[in-house]
């Protein structure tokens, strides 16, 4: 059923851009959720996220310093499928709780991801 379930996922795309001086680039956050109809493998239609908020600390980051990126969202009880962070069109971090390992880091010059904090 895992393959069948993944075929019927409904992806909800939330595009949020953040300009950070350190990276001199726009960031894109992609959040996917799905909600399955009871007793079926079919995803429901018309589902969306609410209260999506991004926070960057500090808000202005000097070159060669670090920033913490936070994404807050309300799934309203639906299971989280994935959260992806992009710099431009390049994905640098992915969190998928249904996969092993759940966190994946993709190498991009100038970006170091520290998930220990």
The answer to whether residues 71 and 57 touch, using CB atoms and an 8 Å cutoff, is no
pLDDT in tens, 12-26: 333 333 333 334 444
Q: Which of 55, 71, 57, 109 is nearest to 87 (CA)?
A: 109
The answer to whether residues 63 and 22 touch, using CB atoms and an 8 Å cutoff, is yes
pLDDT in tens, 96-109: 888 899 999 999 88
Confidence of residue 8 (pLDDT cuts 50, 70, 90): very low
Q: Which of 70, 58, 53 is nearest to 21 (CA)?
A: 58
């Amino acid at each position: 059923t895992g393959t069948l379930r993944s075929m019927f996922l409904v992806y909800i795309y939330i595009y949020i851009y953040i300009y950070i001086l350190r990276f001199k680039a726009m960031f894109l956050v992609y959040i996917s959720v799905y909600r399955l109809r009871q007793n079926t493998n079919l995803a429901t239609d018309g589902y969306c996220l609410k209260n999506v908020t991004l926070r960057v600390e500090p808000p202005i980051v000097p070159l060669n310093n670090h920033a913490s990126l936070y994404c807050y969202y309300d799934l309203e009880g639906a299971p989280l499928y994935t959260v992806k962070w992009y710099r431009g069109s390049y994905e640098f971090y992915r969190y998928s709780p249904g996969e092993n390992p759940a966190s994946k880091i993709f190498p991009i010059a100038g970006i170091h991801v520290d998930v220990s904090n």
